[in-house]
Amino acid sequence: MSTTSKTLTFDKSTSRANPTPSPMKRLTVPRIRQRKAGGVTAEPLVMLTAYTVRMAQLLDPHCDMLLVGDSLGQVIYGLPHTVAVTMDMMAAHGAAVVRGSYHAAVVVDMPFGSYEASPQQAFESAAHLLKETGAAAVKLEGGKILAPTIEFLTNRGIPVMAHIGLTPQAVNILGGYGVRGKSAEEAQSIVEDAVAVADAGAFAMVIEGVLEPIAIEITQKVTCPTIGIGASAQCDGQVLVTEDMLGLFDRTPKFVKKFGDMAASVEDAVKQYADGVRDRSFPGPDQLYQPVEG
């Protein structure tokens, strides 16, 4: 058997579906976890959300993890919050992102109602998502109360990313998306949540929408990597909703920095297309098929 390494390539001009595989191995959960050594992550972890094959293809070379977030309820489906997101939605979009990526570890959100009732329910839901998508791990929201569930899943071979602080699935209890940890009591509770989920076996945790000192304290206390969103640059990594980061939405949370203005680019391209159709300059000779003479 030849041991010569070969790079498999596809002609991308013939298919929108197949990305060109890169000569690299996909990052695994243990490798992500090992990036934090001795309480320090020398190279911060990069994570962005992805919901489609094409976006996964574009993000994959630059990201350590791709999160198929239940934020797709708002970004893709126009829902007012994430509570209405279903398992079928997460499974379909999760599978698409896995198909579109070769490098990043793919993490899929467990939607509201799929894991809270019991560890057994959580296992069935998580196993279903991993089987349907081929993803590396699941993410669930909650602190101390869900630590036993995280331990149950981890002990049965399902890697779990935790999510603490501002937990969007609890919007009906929280009353909105305001920053968490303003009182000393709530701040202490969030830190306790972080320690509990880390001790339960979470390989990483998202810290969302908390006062910065809380995120720094948690990052220093827990052994697993912390991924900040509206938290602190001192976290072990960062995540944003890709469409927010690209500037596709006019209104975004305070913690979002727009690294592009894609909305303006799309509007400009659509205007040029519409003008071309109306003045009959599109389609032109380069886009048309003519009979072959002879």
Binding site for Mg(2+), by residue number, is: 70, 109, 141
Q: What residues form the annotated binding site for 3-methyl-2-oxobutanoate?
A: 70-71, 109, 139
Q: What residues form the annotated binding site?
A: 70-71, 109, 139, 141
Active site residue 208: yes
Instruction: Give the 3-state secondary structure of the chain.
Output: CCCCCCCCCCCHHHCCCCCCCCCCCCCCHHHHHHCEECCEECCCEEEEECCCHHHHHHHHHHCCEEEECCCHHHHCCCCCCCCCCCHHHHHHHHHHHHHCCCCCEEEEECCCCCCCCCHHHHHHHHHHHHHHHCCCEEEEEECHHHHHHHHHHHHCCCCEEEEEECCHHHHHHHCCCCCECCCHHHHHHHHHHHHHHHHCCCCEEEEECECHHHHHHHHHHCCCCEEEECCCCCCCEEEECHHHHCCCCCCCCCCCCCCCCHHHHHHHHHHHHHHHHHCCCCCCHHHCCCCCCC
Instruction: Assess contact for 121 and 115: CB atoms under 8 A.
Output: yes
Instruction: Assess contact for 226 and 219: CB atoms under 8 A.
Output: yes
Q: Out of 43, 186, 208, 217, pick the active-site residue.
A: 208
Active site residues: 208
